[in-house]
A and B are shown apart, each in its own frame.
Chain A
Amino acid sequence: MSIHPGTAAKHKAPDSQAAANAPKVRRRSPTRVNPALYLFPLPAVAVIAFFLVMPTLQAFQYAITDWNGFSAAFNYVGLDNFIRAFTNDSLFTNALTNNLKFVLLVVIAQTFFSLILALLLTKNSRGSILLRALFFFPTILSSVSVAFIWKFIYDPNFGLANSVLRTVGVDGGAYLGNDAQALYWVAVTQVWFHSGQMMVVYIAGLQAIPRELYEAAEMDGANKWQQFKSITWPFVAPATSIVVAYTTVQSFKAFDLILGIAGNPPKSSLDILSTRIYSTFANSEFGYAAAQSIIFMAMIALVTWLQRRLLRLTPKGE
């Protein structure tokens, strides 16, 4: 996933080649860059600079103030907001704990589950293609819609889950009403919502594996599990890094789903960092909300970096 595919290399190669060949080739310069080309990216650069980069830098400034967003006067309070978040704000540390728990649950469940779906649907039969389309479908819905669908499933009195359980004579649970479990049930919803999308990423990885490898392995008498361990898994390792990284960011930002399923503001057992930042903001604590958002950004960066260090998922022999 290099950000800029081979720019440096691309532009060095012809130069050194030209030098090695003959000076004549060098003199014939390639088509010159038209200066008007610099106007093309200008609107995009201006928009990003003014509405994305500048506000992000400003967030660092707000974060060290006690600004309430309205009054002209405010004080610089140094790192007080950051200290407050970690030592003197149980709402924030609760949201942080919930968020990390939620990310861990969803990443493990979704990676595992989407790989299984992909393995079962690799073949391009008509049935597989149909099921892939079906499993992918929830991804296109809005989080609020998905939240409402699952609110109904989990409704303790009228809900789908409990009415199914009742027909087989089992007492259902309170689901979201049970504070100890609520986060797990939202994790289930998140997995239902996005597994199909990650399944497709895995299928692309699986289909790139040369068939001959399996044939050769079979001739050598390798069983299915051995084939998975020594062929499939090493080959889908890059897809796994993508799935894990994307799922991490996606579940850190499950803001819409939480608000839809739990209401605004969500109760403390379902409060995560993004909903907490929003509540702080809505409470007119602009400086403190900015500090929280910087912690949020740092947290995503840290977890993503840790995964890269720990997983180091590259195909064997590369």
Chain B
Amino acid sequence: MLASLSRRAILAIYAVIIIIPLTVVAFGSFKSTQELFAGPFSLPHSLSPDNFAEVVGGQNLGNSFINSAIVTGISVPLTLFLASLAGYAVSRLKGFMSWAIFGFLVLGMAIPAQANMVPLYVLFGRLGLLDSLAGLILANVVSTLPIAVFILGGFMRTLPKELYEASSIDGSGPWKTYSSIALPLSAPSIAAAAIFLFVIHWNELLYPLLFIQSPGNRTLPLALLSFQGEFQTNYPLLFAGVTLASLPVVVAYVFLQRYFVAGITAGASKG
């Protein structure tokens, strides 16, 4: 009785600690600074979109939103495509070669992004990839490819070999077997990896900070960070930015919650 009461108390307190800040931010993005400071918990007087209009227009957050959508929209499928090709090959090749390719690709998980940022910056400079969305996409793909190969390759190894063999006997080449057997059967792990990558790429800050110079090429997290300097305590404006930047992941989370947990914990337990 007492145990169940204290269990409920702990859970309730922590739920409040999660919910309150999020509600204050969501409500706050519709308030004026005075209204926010007068009563952070109160409902906004009106659902006026002024703050949003200002961050989208004046602060160029709309443009950053589009940049983020482009970068994430290309980075995620591209990473998945390269990782699934590699994962498929690893699951079908045998012995040393399979082990060596998998090991080489997965070893990259041990290298933190800060470790090679200086040479990568120099290399991107030589290739003309600085200050471009293409450079960001490439950096995203490189940084998450190892773990994507780990997740997809690990899953594809568990697929029954007989299916592949049956497909070869039917006269399918490796490409056909990959696209019509391996890919559809790997859908659960691809979905998990896709969500994991979506969260990482959408929220990525270090690479934009390193590579992007012109405001027109900023992605959302970088644009938000630059807010901080300009609007030290204009919290309603910061909150409108936070709300806008979080919207796609939040909407996806509400509908695909189960897959998020599967994806991000696959990253956690294997990373």
Contacts and interface: CB of A to CB of B under 8 A. Distances in A.
Given A37-B174, A145-B242, A293 B145 contact: no
Contacts of A58: 116, 119, 122
Given A135-B14, A148-B242, A55 B89 contact: no
Interface string B206-228: 10011000000000110011001
A293 B117 contact: yes
Given A44-B83, A135-B18, A260-B225, A59 B99 contact: no
Nearest to B227: A148
A309 B235 CA distance: 46
Nearest to B262: A200
Interface in A231-260: 242, 246, 249, 252-253, 255-256, 259-260
B7 A48 contact: no
A116 B11 CA distance: 10
B268 A197 contact: yes
A107 to B, nearest CB: 14
Contacts of A34: 168, 173-174
Residue of B24, B119, B225, B233 with most partner-chain A CB within 10 A: B119
Contact of A131 (B15, B121, B168): B15
A258 to B, nearest CB: 11
B246 A141 contact: yes
A145 B245 contact: yes
B21 to A, nearest CB: 5
A228 to B, nearest CB: 13
22 contacts: A7-B98, A7-B102, A40-B89, A41-B85, A41-B86, A41-B90, A48-B105, A59-B119, A121-B11, A134-B19, A136-B261, A140-B264, A142-B220, A144-B205, A151-B238, A152-B25, A163-B40, A246-B269, A252-B112, A264-B229, A281-B121, A286-B122
Interface of A: 1, 3-5, 7-8, 11, 30-31, 33-34, 36-38, 40-41, 43-45, 47-49, 51-56, 58-59, 62, 69, 116-117, 120-121, 131-145, 148-153, 155, 158, 160, 163, 192, 197-198, 200-201, 204, 224, 242, 246, 249, 252-253, 255-256, 259-260, 263-264, 273-274, 277-278, 281, 286, 289-290, 293-294, 296-297, 300-301
